[in-house]
Amino acid sequence: MLDPIPSKLLKEVLQEVIDPLLTIIYSSLSLGFVPKTLKLAVIKPLIKKTQIDPKELVNYRPISNLPFLSKILEKVVSSQLYSFLEKNGICEDFQSGFRPYHSTETALLRVTNDLLLSSDCGCISLLMLLDLSAVFDTIDHNILLHRLEHFVGINGSALAWFKSYLNDHHQFIAVNEEVSYRSQVQYGVPQGSVLGPSLFTLYMLPLGDIIRKHSVSFHCYADDTQLYISSRPGETYQFEKLTECIDNIKNWMTSNFLLLNSEKTEVLIIGPKNSAYNNLERCLRHDGCSVNSSSSVRNLGVLLDSNLSLESHVSSICKTAFFHLKNISKLWPMLSMSNAEMLIHAFMTSRLDCCNALLGGCSARLVNKVQLVQNAAARVLTRTRKYEHISPVLSTLHWLPIKHRIDFKILLITYKALNGLAPQYLNELLLHYNLPRLLHSQNTGNLIIPRISKSTAGGRSFSYLAPKLWNNLPNIVWEADTLLQFKSRLKTHFFNLVYT
């Protein structure tokens, strides 16, 4: 509807049109101008679920489509902008959204690491998940341009380009063959754009400094912001800092045309349930009202409880995995083995592996619950009977058992962190031995294992598990020159441990 030719056709004739495309991109950047035709979006409402009432407008999600040439131009700018931000250290260290080498898993590893270590020291921790309403739609363009100029250091034709990019955007709605009138977009970043997420994180840059002033720890993933603070049981008055921090955050958001949704704010208290625990609930206030804690919260897709046991999370993923396995088994007569395995990996393995580094150090009983899912999937795929031994089947399929898949993920993230392929906030948790030169050759590559008090708390933290697992690896594994080589050697190492 917006493009003169389908994007698939453009790819096929790219060599013939590459020079005109480059001319358009170069002219746009050098002149600091974005053509009006590249600032038009079509909004198509998409129903959220097939089972819900299509007559209710709230059941639809607006999907924004932009011209493909606009996205090509934005990708060029986004690449240059990211390089500039990283080179000058402008990005917020604890923002994991829309950044290479960052993910929900790395964010949760750092947050749970800090909370587990606090619990190991006998502290009570409070985790608060903030809910921001429609933040991408309420960004003020003048404030954003001020951020780009004074916080990021963009000026001249580059700043003029962003001003042209933000101004005079239009959109219209298309339903079947009907289209609405075009309306101007005066606030927010273009939905469905390449640059939108990066511009949002730059808009939010001052937030980190506001939180740090209150000595509160935090982590952001796009617009998902979580605050956490720990204290000794007898010093729960320290948590009043969090209330003051929330008030400042709300005031800042109001002045920046953002809305903090108080009703959807969730709180999790982590630690022993005693009198201090009850006093802590009474001191929590938000918008003048007491905030009650939850028994569990969903944090970036993972269910966390007051003990960080991950019991609820494991039960949830196992239930979902068995549901999909049951459906796949019904389709078995119509599937080849390769297609069945593809479905199992798409609907089951992906869920079992998602954020599985958080399961490191969990009880054998909990890990075994996930193992039963993998065993069931292997039996369905190979038609193995219930009472036949499963290890030979897993070996034939080249599937590592769940415990070793967890260790594999932790070691993979460790290798990435040590080689600049993971967030700095994980790298700083890993410390090398600083030994005399005579002993250096014997311990090259070893990491310091911190002391812990409780295996169920500090013993599950990334800063403890990562060096413990790393130091047990043969030199031939961690000496790998590339990530691909490391993964291959590590998988071979684990296969030899498990199946030989």
Measure Cα distances from 29 to 33, 70, 124, 158, 448 in Å: 7, 13, 52, 7, 49
Kindly indicate the confidence band of residue 283, based on its pLDDT and cuts at 50, 70 and 90.
low
**Res 65 pLDDT > 60:** yes
What secondary structure, in 3-state letters, does 335-362 show? CCHHHHHHHHHHHHHHHHHCCHHHHCCC
- Boundaries of every domain in the chain: 7-92+142-197, 104-135+202-305, 311-399, 405-499
Residue type for 287, please? D
Both tokens of 404, joined, read 């070793």
DSSP one-letter code for 287: T
What is the rounded CA–CA span in Å between residue 281 and residue 269?
8
Q: Please tell me the predicted confidence (pLDDT) of residue 10.
A: 84
Q: What is the pTM of this model?
A: 0.91
What confidence tens digit (pLDDT) does each residue in 341-362 have? 999 999 999 999 999 999 999 9
Do 38 and 67 form a contact (C-beta atoms < 8 A)? yes
- Tell me what percent of the residues of the chain surpass a pLDDT of 90: 76
Q: Is the pLDDT of residue 410 over 50?
A: yes
What would the two tokens of residue 427 be?
């790298």
Whole-number Cα distances in Å, 441 to 37, 104, 444, 446 = 63, 37, 5, 10
* pLDDT tens for each residue of 135-156: 899 999 999 999 999 999 999 9
Q: Which residues contact 349 (CB under 8 A, 6 or more apart)?
A: 374, 377
pLDDT for residue 275: 45
Mean of all residue pLDDT scores within the chain: 91
pLDDT surpassing 50 at residue 440: no
Q: How confident is the model at residue 274 (pLDDT cuts 50, 70, 90)?
A: low
Q: Is 235's pLDDT higher than 50?
A: yes
One of 1.25.10, 3.40.30, 3.30.70, 1.10.1220 is the CATH number of 104-135+202-305, namely: 3.30.70
> Are 149 and 264 a contacting pair, CB within 8 Å?
no
pLDDT, position 355: 97
The predicted structure's pLDDT at residue 280: 59
Residue 438: pLDDT above 50? no
- Residue 332 vs residue 256, higher pLDDT: 256
Q: How confident is the model at residue 436 (pLDDT cuts 50, 70, 90)?
A: low
Joined tokens for residue 238: 């320290």
